[in-house]
Amino acid sequence: MDININSTSAPVVLLFAGQGNPVIGMGADLWDINAATRHIWDCASDISGLDLRRLCLKGPMNKLIQTTVQQLAVTAINLTLYTLMREKIASRTILGVCGHSVGEYSALYAAGALQLEDIFSIIHFRAALMDRLSRQNKGSMLAVKGLDYLAMRQRIADAGMELDISCDNSRFQQVVGGTASALSEFNRRLVAEGLAAVKLGVSGAWHTRLMSDGVQQMQDFLMDIPIGQPLCDVLMNVTGAPESDPQAIRQNLSQHLTHTVKWTDSLERLLAYETPPLFIEISNKAYLGQLLNDFPRSSPEMILHCRKII
């Protein structure tokens, strides 16, 4: 069902995508629309020293999946789409914003807590740090359908493996991270149960213990970054709850490297608002809205992808 932004007066919740499934050509229709979109991509490239447009347009894929490229690309796409959409929703009340994994930085930008240059400085540092740790502690991630958080945690405990739940995406989807050997064995157990698992197109085991050495380094870097008080609720991945204190935001962003993305908790809190909101997904390709279908309070009429607006 197609939903028109003008067909409802509901307040808005913005959902920003994270990395996961890059494609050659991503963002190519966005970076030269106007001066504002060009500035976003120029800023990302100038700060990182990468020709981000060329990498997104031509790859190669083995480069595009690297977190040093993908985090910047996803953020540039998110911020461009948000910038193009912002005027279209200027009259709407924004109840809250939430970003999945690295998408959390886009959410903080939309809430007025972080400035553009600071975001790309953080992402450049964060991605390089995670890339370095992923080379020291090699790992990967599996998306598993059919289980909630508690059921997945029990299976990991029963298997006796050093695996972590990277993302609690919904009541029916979990992402597990760890070493390749542990994930391979765990996947065999899941298949034997009739469960489906898909390896994600990422270059490390994000939000797991394999990133532990980066938490203090991330915290030290963020101490020099100005963070303002958000203008609306920012539901953070580490807690699944809104946070407005800049120092607490820094702490959450640091712990983000090793803690589960509590997307289920965030969505359930957003769905519990007294006035049912319209969820607008901001991503290159729709997928976060599909996760909302796993929640009983949600309905297709509550979900709209940003490309339907811009």
Report, as residue numbers or ranges, the catalytic residues.
Answer: 101, 207
Coil, strand or helix at 187: helix
- The sign one gets for the Cα dihedral 46, 49, 54, 55 is negative
**Nearest CA among 173, 201, 226, 247 for reference residue 61:** 201
Rounded CA-CA distance 180/186 in Å is 10
**If you compute the radius of gyration of the chain from its CA atoms, what whole number of angstroms results?**
18
Q: Give, for 271, the enclosing helix (H) or strand (E).
A: helix 263-271
Pairing of strands 197-199, 140-145: antiparallel
Q: Give, for 254, the enclosing helix (H) or strand (E).
A: helix 246-255
Question: Rounded to whole angstroms, what are the CA distances from 160 to 74, 131, 185, 196, 208?
Answer: 35, 27, 11, 20, 16
Buried b (16+ CB within 10 A) or exposed e, 120-141: bbbbbbbbebbbebbeebebbb
